[in-house]
Amino acid sequence: MTCVENAHKRSESFRRTLIVLTITSVIGAAIAQNDQSPVVNIQGLGSVMGIMGKTAWTSRPIYKFFNIKYAEAPVGEQRFRAPVSVLPWSGVKDVTAPGRGCPQSRTLSAEDPDAEDCLTLSVYSNDLLANRPVMLYIHGGAFVLGSAERFGPEYLLEKDIVLVVIQYRLGTLGFLSTGTERIPGNAAMYDVMESLEWVSRHIRHFGGNPQDVTIFGESAGGHAVSAMLHSPRVREGLFHRAIIQSGTVFMPWVICQDPTEGAYDIARIIGCPMTTPTEIDNCLKQASVRDLVQAQDQHKKNEFSSPGYPKVAGACITVGGPSGAQSLMPVHPKESTYFRDVPIIFGMNSQEGLIFFNEYFQYALNSQQIEFKDHWDFLEFVKTVNVKFGSSAFVDAVVGYELLSKATWEEMSRANFSELVPVLIDIAGNLALKYGSVEEANRFANAHPGQVYLYNFDYVGPPSPMTPGFPYDVPNSVGHGDELKFLFPMSNVLNEEHTQMAKIMVDLWTSFAMTGVPVASNVIQWPTVSRPYGPYLRLVNPPERKEYFVHELTNTVVKARESNAGIQMQFSLLSIFLTLLVAVIR
């Protein structure tokens, strides 16, 4: 062993001894009396007391620390502004149970004076003295819903990583922009940046390596990861790999179309005096949390019910702004030549359009199917769907492609809404998400060859509750967010076969976080994207290598036809059987 290696070994031994002494000095004899209450002293901040748990498959111990503050409450003049780093505290903070999420319509009840004090993160580790890769997860929810507590560590911590799950401001509180210095927009994205800075400063106290961080997120969380990749404001070295699940800033609605106009509409709904920009800003800063959340929801309904593309404000990323070149995103990513040089996984699920078309079905159609008079009537409706999901340019050409690739002439001629629902789901999913995701993957693969992986998730697992109230059956659907139950213990109904898929997903995600290359036991090699639209991995059990992602743009239509063909085959066999039976009887 060299002198350098000996020195490194002595240094690491000293570090571990120092950490043990620090923990012991904080809690004294209590650690021996109650080993279910681990305490960590975060240097420069204070101490936190967590709780013990165990992993799902091998019962490895997990140190759990919920809702550690990473920023001060963004209240008063700080509302709508970038967060302020958390200040030190005295004593030992109890972080043994999940707390409140950030304000949202799903959980809004009585007025809570501390509702905005929600900028927290949860840390999960099974070795507080280690130096392990870190995976930081950003939850989804269309930028208006979600919290950290749903995303537990019981699957991912079967592997040697540290998991961090963050919370960020939602809806109007996180994204409203009046175009002024006081309400510039993108507050939530600055929350994400601040959480990454916290990890850089403090994760070593939980056994994590701040020089080995992977950020990953689904849906809105994927949009946030995408924003971190494209923003020149994000400090280099804050993260080293990225996984984007069903999200991208190239999705039409993720970038605000007209943030100031939308913010003013929300202000009008609240009842603000529409006089000067300063008075409007004052009103929004003083409005109740309840009024801000409910006004954004009403604004969204108004936009979906109006003609043209729904320009929903208060839940989208603002390009430019009063800071100009110093803003989060100075120009739209489509106009940018900045591509952060890190390995990336991009992917999506087969029936992404189910949740998007269901939202349109509920908001714009009031959950009522349309009775088409004829195929011309259906054609006009397809144009409307295209516009609603962001394809306002060259709409006739796009409509022609969508019909060519998805609807047969016989289906179009019958113009039956129920029969055409799979066509509409694929159109909505492609326009709202898939086209943008593949475009971003292609751009990064071109800029940084050998670093981009692409997948389509098509494993049918336990039923998903993502589209409540949708009255149409979609056979073998794998909808938005369905992959999450194989990374986090969100469902208690994973049978042995589903658990095998979960282990494949955990292997792929954590190996990527550890090495930059996603691998799993007995799984075919996952190739990097080397040309437009491929190759890629189709995530089923076992996973399959595919070459041309364009084939994934008609998943719902193909499944519906295969299901109908199966029903027709069963009916034909039954008819043959009955015919033979009658012949025998005669």
pLDDT number for residue 27: 37
pLDDT over threshold 90, residue 314: yes
Quick one: average pLDDT of 2-12? 44
* Cα–Cα dist 225/217, whole Å: 6
Task: Check: CB of residue 242 under 8 Å from CB of residue 344.
Answer: yes
Residue 476 neighbours by CB distance under 10 Å = 14
Tokens, residue 421:
């629902």
Instruction: Please state, in angstroms and rounded to a whole number, the distance separating the CA atoms of residues 144 and 102.
Output: 9
| CA contacts within 13 A on the Cβ side of 89 | 16
Do 402 and 427 contact (CB within 8 A), yes or no?
yes
**pLDDT by residue (tens digit) across 319-350?**
988 876 678 999 988 888 888 999 999 999 99
Q: What is the mean pLDDT of residues 461-479?
A: 80
The crossing angle, in degrees rounded to 10, of helices 375-388 and 395-406 is 110
- Copy the structure tokens of residue 322: 């009063």
pLDDT number for residue 5:
43
Name the pLDDT band for 364 (thresholds 50, 70, 90). Answer: low
Confidence band for 23, pLDDT divided at 50, 70 and 90: very low
- Cβ neighbours of residue 470 under 8 Å, at least 6 residues apart? 354, 358, 361
Is residue 315 within 8 Å of 143, Cβ to Cβ?
Answer: yes
Question: What average pLDDT does this structure show over 373-400?
Answer: 64
pLDDT(466) > 70? no
Confirm whether pTM is higher than 0.85.
Answer: yes
Tell me how crowded residue 383 is: count the other CB atoms within 10 A of its CB.
Answer: 16
Residues 356-366 as b/e (b if ≥16 CB within 10 A, e otherwise) read: bbbbbbbbbee
Of 551, 351, 546, 332, give the one whose Cα is nearest residue 453: 546
pLDDT tens, 510-542? 999 999 999 999 999 999 999 989 999 999 999
- CA distance linking residue 364 with residue 31, whole number of Å: 58
Q: 253-301 pLDDT, tens per residue?
A: 899 988 999 999 999 999 999 899 999 999 999 999 999 999 999 998 8
Rounded-to-integer distance, Cα 239 and Cα 210, Å: 8
Strands (E), 327-381: 344-349
> pLDDT-derived band of residue 408, with 50, 70 and 90 as boundaries?
confident
More confident residue, 307 or 70: 70
Angle 537-539-541 (CA atoms, 0-180°, nearest 5)?
Answer: 125
